[in-house]
């Protein structure tokens, strides 16, 4: 399968580390010019330096800014106005007992995990429609479908993101622009390592801690391990490509078989 994104410009939000970083690298390897986003100029520059080392000949644009605010989003889109591929990856997560989630936390999770993506789509979809080609990908989670008892607010926000995806896919109908969600399963990132150690014995070696976490908190996984960010990126690159032209409005899984469902 030959994926060629030469001549395309991509923007990946929250791409200075973790899944977003891996997606930025994958898109660059496929030939896209990739705008790297983070809140601070310093973190964006450091990520680009690492990406250039990891991707021979990769082309990157710094696009710092906090997209959870309107001013920050304008700063980002101003740095890279003509975007062909938008990957809404920015998100927050954390464990909180259900009855202890405050009103402010409910609002914060919606603002960051849902409204920031809506804001970016609203800004960039019109240009894609005018050019009759575009790809929008919202990075969701297995938690959108299998709501975790320890982070209901996170699950709620990712469920809402699936609805946002389906609605904007209808808005883009017949324009050459596709809008999809990518349901990422439990993934091995630095933030997830911290999360795992919040739930299991922090004295355990990492491999043992991972096994205990999967057995106790994510037993539905069919691969019985955390997914590597590059495995999520592989699906993201495909969905961002011309080869995925008939896939839109969907919630496509790269979840290690975690969601116990035939569809999607």
Catalytic center residues: 154
DSSP state of 109: H
CA distance 177 to 134: 4
- Could you tell me if 159 and 177 are in contact, meaning their C-beta atoms sit under 8 angstroms apart? no
SS3 sequence of 180-232: EEEEECCECCHHHHHHHHHHCCCCCCHHHHHHHHHHHHCCCCCCCCCECHHHH
- Quote the distance between the C-alpha of residue 45 and its chain's center: 20
Cβ neighbours of 163 (radius 10 Å): 12
Task: Give the number of other Cβ atoms within 10 Å of residue 170's Cβ.
Answer: 10
Q: Which residue from 237, 178, 257, 228 is spatially nearest to 30, judged by alpha carbons?
A: 237
- Other CB atoms within 10 Å distance of the CB of residue 216: 10
């Amino acid at each position: 399968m030959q994926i060629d994104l030469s001549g395309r410009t991509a923007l990946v939000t929250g791409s200075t580390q973790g899944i977003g970083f891996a997606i930025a690298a994958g898109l660059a390897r496929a030939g896209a010019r990739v705008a790297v986003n983070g809140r601070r100029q310093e973190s964006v520059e450091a990520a680009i330096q690492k990406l250039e080392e990891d991707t021979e000949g990769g082309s990157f644009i710094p696009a710092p800014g906090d997209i959870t605010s309107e001013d920050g989003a304008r700063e980002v889109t101003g740095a890279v106005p003509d975007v062909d591929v938008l990957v809404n990856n920015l998100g927050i997560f954390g464990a909180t007992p259900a009855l202890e989630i405050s009103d402010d936390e409910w609002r914060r999770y919606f603002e960051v995990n849902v409204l920031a993506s809506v804001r970016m789509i609203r800004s960039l979809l019109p240009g894609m429609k005018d050019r009759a080609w575009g790809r929008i990908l919202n990075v969701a989670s297995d938690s959108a479908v299998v709501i975790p008892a320890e982070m209901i607010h996170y699950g709620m926000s990712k469920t809402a993101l699936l609805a946002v995806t389906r609605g904007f896919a209808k808005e883009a109908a017949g324009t050459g622009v596709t809008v999809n969600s990518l349901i990422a399963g439990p993934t091995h990132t630095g933030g997830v390592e911290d999360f795992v150690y919040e739930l299991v014995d922090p004295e355990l070696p990492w491999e043992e801690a991972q096994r205990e976490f999967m057995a106790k908190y994510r037993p539905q996984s069919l691969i019985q391990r955390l997914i590597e960010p590059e495995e999520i990126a592989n699906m993201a690159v495909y969905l961002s490509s011309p080869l995925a032209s008939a896939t839109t409005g969907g919630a496509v899984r790269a979840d290690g078989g975690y969601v116990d469902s035939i569809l999607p």
